[in-house]
Structure 1
């Protein structure tokens, strides 16, 4: 029980709550990305893909916590180009950001070009292993950034592990409803893809040493999400009214 003694220390408990909240916010990106990917799969496979994706997110984060000395070396410059010095962390963020942007643009193109509804049979053709591979890539990117943030905020590894466990548990509970909502309301998928482009740009900027405050990014996402929520409500009411008029 000595391992959990930090729960009785007000200072460490405060650090845990703060760090867990931050990790949950940072996990929004992961949840949106996984929700977009698994929307192509049949329901049973989609659930399994979400479980695998979030399970890997947990494994990556905890594994990286136990190699903190290696993690901190990732912030040391390894490549110099013009006036920029790139560390491995910068390179990971650049590659991950570009991957997110490319993936989101590709999905937006598919949404615009495909004017027919995707059938269950077509969804089944989506390669499960390929989707999991994409989830692994983005899990790794977000895990590195998340753990470096955790290291900067807390010095006690027990606090960091507890915060990661809380954050992934919340991500797991939120992933199903988010995925279902995106699947049932196609217009929200376009909004979610726009979010991924925004997050990708923020990651690329971080890679170049230009930090865009995440408060700006997430507040913009929250505002757009609220507007879309009311738009969905209005759309549902119009559809219900049309059904009632048709019956009468």
Structure 2
């Protein structure tokens, strides 16, 4: 009997705790902001953002909702979307915040082919390499955008080039006859531009007679191989000086 009597009391206590939390100004303001966004009331959204402070999570939700509902044909135009996203970024919104499916604001902007919005998101630090639950990145969204996709795909490609990082590991050397074989492992998000650097004897060399996994569009992977025809670049030999070889990789 005592145990049964405690249950309503516990529920009452929980309700008393929850009600003040729901009535907190920040919570209500957040709901108000999201409500204006959901109804496409852009001016009301701008007024709230200019007059109040919000948490990053609410700002991120507002950004995702704005882009999800944005429609050039009427609900929230591309111009309105840009204005709202610009304000949200200025207020501290997390530009890489994903929705339940892993879709980021940048992916939404690419899908809608909103070039100016994608540009400002990238400028604010949006990551073009993130993928959703289906393994799709902003680049795939851009390629499937409606209308002329040339500019939006160029924006994403440029951002990927600028933000890409490549790592060269496990460099191994083998000399056979007049050739130097350089083996290495390459890590990166897409094909890289690879070059071989040589240094030693008080001078820096640019190996020109090279072949294999060197130059533009080298695929990431293990056991990449460069063959350097040493005698063609140094017909007199290297005078038995110590030489250092290095493999460099970049996006451009």
Query: Could you say whether these structures have the same fold, taking a TM-score greater than 0.5 normalized by the shorter chain as the test?
Result: no
Larger-gyration structure (1/2): 2
Which one has the bigger helix percentage? 1
TM-score (norm 2): 0.20
Q: Which has the higher contact order (CA 8 A, sep 6+)?
A: 1
Which one has the bigger strand percentage? 2
TM-score (norm 1): 0.20
